[in-house]
Structure 1
Amino acid sequence: MLHLRLITPADRTAEVLRLVERTVGTTHLAVVPGAARNPPGDLVMCDVAREAGDELIGGLRSLGIDESGSIAVENIDLSLSRRADKAEEEAPGEGADAVLWEHLEDATHEESTLSFTYIAFLSLATMIAACGVVLDNAILIVGAMAVGPEFGPLAGFCTALVQRAPRLAWRSFMALIVGFAAAMLVTVAFSFFMDSVNLFEASKLQAERPNTNFIYRPDWFSFVVAVLAGAAGMLSLTSAKSGALVGVAISVTTVPAAANAAVAFSYTEYKQAWGSTEQLLLNLLGIVLAGTLTLLAQKYLWAKQRQRTAARATLP
């Protein structure tokens, strides 16, 4: 269930109440006239089944409540109510399959912001991975994958393609390009420093490295894993199962590939650097392709579910 807290202008409250009451899957409607001060208006609260949330939020936005008032949405972790159970039963589909597009756009917009924190996390993850590739240490590689924040912009780009949001697409694209470029430049400088204190050596990078040589040797398995991880990542975001994102992060070789490319470049190992760059681009392509197709499939299936529900409602 979702909890909606609305601030509505007094002259729009009646419309809002009619919308909430006719939306299947809503309950616990409460109105406090004149309670809001900034912006002034009435306070309207209700609970809605997740599978009906996108429809209700879209209706509220069409009434202009997001511009003249406020729409706040929270997840309800526990609701002990027979009315809530009945609302969830009446709502079409399953809550786990529902996509809250407004929430997804907002979340990915925030995650795809090119900020100092984002670049710092990506740079730190790449430097950790650099230590992993030089030491041929798989544990450090996995740790670097978990630290890297690059899935946020990737998810934002997928969402922008499906929702036709060019500003979000450009924002996400710039976060990826500038973020990885900055992280790799920092890692090149880090490699020079580590070499100067005799912690990195060219011979270690040139060794067989059985645990990490896959990073600069891309193949079809790299692409397949990236596609599977991209689909799993988007399902994780849309179903609010954020725990699965950790598994997605340590399934793809984006950060380690960027790290290996940077270290190899610092030692003029251009063949390794190019192979690692191919690995990075292959993973990015696989994630974007799978993520976009997953969202398109969810959008199509949910639209079909709504059509079936509407058809059943018109039957005598």
Structure 2
Amino acid sequence: MLHLRMIVPTDRTDAALELLETTVGTAHVAVLAGAARDPRGDVVLCDVAREAADGLLAELRALGLHKDGSIAIENIDLSLSVRAERAEEEAPGEGADAVLWESLTDATHEESTLSATYLAFLTVATMIAACGVVLDNAILIVGAMAVGPEFGPLAGICTALVQRAPRLAWRSVTALVVGFAAAMVLTVGFSLFMDAMGLFHAGALAAERPNTNFIYRPDWFSFVVAVLAGTAGVLSLTSAKSGALVGVAISVTTVPAAANAAVALAYGAYGQAWHSMEQLLLNLAGIIVAGTLTLVAQKLLWARHDTGPARRPRH
């Protein structure tokens, strides 16, 4: 279940209440008349089944509440209510299959912002992976994968392609390209500094490295894993199963490939740097293709019974 908290202009409160009370999948409608001060209006509260939320939000936006009032949405972790159970049973489809497009767009918009924090995480992750490359340490590589925040922009690109949102697409591509470019440049400097300190050496990069040589040896398995990870990552976002994102992060060779390319560039090993970039691009492409197709499939499957909020007769 989701909880909606709305500020509704007084001239539209009746219309909003009629919509909430006649939509299948809603429960616990409450009104605090005149409680809102900025903007002024009535505070309207409601719980709604996840599978009915997307259509309901579209209708609320049609009333202009997002412009003249507000619509806030929260997940309900526990609801002990027979009415809530009935609302979930009456709502069409299953909540786990429903995609809340407004929430997905908002989440990917935030995660795909090119911010100082995003750059810091990506740079630190790339530097950790650089240490793993030189030491041939798979644990450090896995740790770097988990730290890297690059799935946010990748999910943003997928969402933008399906929702035809060019601004989100541009923001996501910018965060991805600029983020990796900056992280790699800084990691080149980090590698040279570590070499000057006697902690990195060219011999380690030229060694066989049985634990990490997959990073600069792209093959079809790399693409297959990226496709599977992209599918799992998008499903975790749309179903609010955020814990699965950790598994996605440590399944794809994006940050390690960028780190290996940076270290190789620092030592002039341009062939290995090029193969690492191939690995990076192959993984990025696989995630974007799989994520986009997953969202398209979810949209088509849900469209079979998502014809707008189902109505219940008024008594």
Deviation at 1:305, TM superposition (A): 2.7
Deviation at 1:225, TM superposition (A): 0.1
2: CA distance between counterparts of 1:62 and 1:215?
50
> Match of 1:162?
162
1: CA distance between counterparts of 2:106 and 2:8?
21
Task: Render the CA deviation track for 1:131-151: whole Å, top value 9, x for unaligned.
Answer: 000000000000000000000
1: CA distance between counterparts of 2:308 and 2:227?
31
Deviation at 1:129, TM superposition (A): 0.1
> Match of 1:238?
238
Contact 1:188 1:266 in 2 (8 A): yes
> Match of 2:24?
24
> Match of 1:289?
289
Task: Render the CA deviation track for 1:147-173: whole Å, top value 9, x for unaligned.
Answer: 000000000110000000000000000
Using structure 1 for the length normalisation, give the TM-score: 0.97
Contact 1:10 1:42 in 2 (8 A): yes
**Please, which runs of 5 or more residues in structure 1 have no aligned partner?**
none
SS at match of 2:71: strand
Counterpart AA for 2:224: V
1: CA distance between counterparts of 2:92 and 2:234?
22
> Match of 1:262?
262
Using structure 2 for the length normalisation, give the TM-score: 0.97
Q: Which structure's relative contact order is higher, taking Cα pairs within 8 Å and 6+ residues apart?
A: 2
1:213 aligns with 2:213: yes
SS at match of 2:114: coil
> Match of 1:73?
73
Contact 2:33 2:41 in 1 (8 A): yes
Contact 1:29 1:47 in 2 (8 A): yes
SS at match of 2:79: coil
Deviation at 1:307, TM superposition (A): 5.4
1:113 aligns with 2:140: no
2: CA distance between counterparts of 1:77 and 1:190?
44
Deviation at 1:21, TM superposition (A): 1.5
Contact 1:254 1:284 in 2 (8 A): yes
Counterpart AA for 2:215: I
Contact 2:55 2:308 in 1 (8 A): no
Give the RMSD, CA atoms, in angstroms. 1.4
2: CA distance between counterparts of 1:29 and 1:108?
30
2: CA distance between counterparts of 1:200 and 1:262?
13
2: CA distance between counterparts of 1:221 and 1:19?
50
> Match of 1:2?
2
Structure 2 CA distance for partners of 1:110 and 1:8, relative to 1, 3 Å: same
1:1-316 → structure 2 map (5 Å cutoff): 1-306=1-306
SS at match of 2:59: helix
Runs of 4+ aligned residues of structure 1 deviating over 4 Å after TM superposition are 307-310
Task: Render the CA deviation track for 1:239-289: whole Å, top value 9, x for unaligned.
Answer: 000000000000000000000000000000001000000000000000000
Deviation at 1:81, TM superposition (A): 0.3
Counterpart AA for 2:137: N
Name which of structure 1's ranges 156-165 and 299-308 shifts more when overlaid on structure 2.
Answer: 299-308
SS at match of 1:149: coil
Residues matched between the structures, number: 312
2: CA distance between counterparts of 1:308 and 1:14?
20
Contact 1:6 1:71 in 2 (8 A): yes
Task: Render the CA deviation track for 1:197-245: whole Å, top value 9, x for unaligned.
Answer: 1100000000000000000000000000000000000000000000000
Counterpart AA for 1:114: L
Counterpart AA for 1:105: T
Contact 1:92 1:309 in 2 (8 A): no
1: CA distance between counterparts of 2:70 and 2:309?
29
SS at match of 2:154: helix
